[in-house]
Amino acid sequence: MKKSVEILGLPIISITEGRELGMSKTLLIDAKNGTVAAITIEDEDWYRGVKLIPYESVIAIGDDAVTVTNSENILTLDDAGDYEQLLDDNIRIIGTKAITKSGSIQGKISELYIGDDGKIEKCEITAPDGTTSDVTADQISIFGKQVTVIDPSSEKKNEPVAAPAPAAAAPAKE
């Protein structure tokens, strides 16, 4: 599992061609399925438009690079018909308000954790007081453009659990 911040900015490397194809710029989110559908790429031809690599074409995401088989896996906007709606939707998740169905704002989504298969495993929420908590993907009902909705049946899981106070020791009698 990787944080989104650990993926963005990494070079995209073709392992069969032995060359760098560009840098990972953004994650293209499939909000309906809770997955990363593709990674957008910035390269020296950035002015020609968006390029992306479907997530299923990613071999691995390492500490230093994202590896793909070859440059043929990269799609231009003209070739990316399957991804056009996702590009139009432009769901970012990070920075959205995290709110329960019952209307309680928990904070803002500050990080995504992505599994090897591209599934969003969990999100980190930063509360207004600066504390952070995690919600798992099964606790999230909607990834929206401005708001991420948390299922109320899991609200109690998100609340910090207070540790029991240590019992006061009785003063020793001599």
DSSP state of 44: T
Has residue 169 been placed in a domain? Answer: no
Number of domains in the chain: 2
Q: Which of 73, 89, 105 is the last residue of a domain?
A: 89
Order of all β-strands in the sheet with 35-42 = 58-61, 66-68, 11-14, 19-30, 35-42, 51-54, 75-76
Has residue 161 been placed in a domain? Answer: no
- The rounded Cα 132 to chain-centroid distance in angstroms is 16
Which residue type occupies 118? G
Residue among 114, 115, 117, 96 at smallest CA distance from 106: 96
CATH of the domain at 120: 2.30.30.240
Both tokens of 166, joined, read: 């240590």
| pLDDT at site 46 | 62
Are 59 and 84 in the same domain?
Answer: yes
pLDDT in tens, the chain (174 residues): 999 999 999 999 999 999 999 999 999 999 999 999 999 998 877 656 678 999 999 999 999 999 999 888 888 877 888 888 888 888 989 999 999 989 999 999 999 999 989 999 999 999 999 999 999 999 998 998 899 999 856 544 434 433 344 444 444 444
Which residue type occupies 124? E
| pLDDT at site 163 | 39
Count, residues in the chain: 174
34: left (phi over 0), alpha (psi -120 to 50) or beta: left
Question: Residue 30 pairs with which residues in a beta bridge?
Answer: 35
Enclosing domain of residue 65:
2-89
Asked if 95 and 122 touch (Cβ cutoff 8 Å), the reply is: no
Has residue 122 been placed in a domain? Answer: yes
Are 106 and 82 in the same domain?
Answer: no
Has residue 168 been placed in a domain? Answer: no
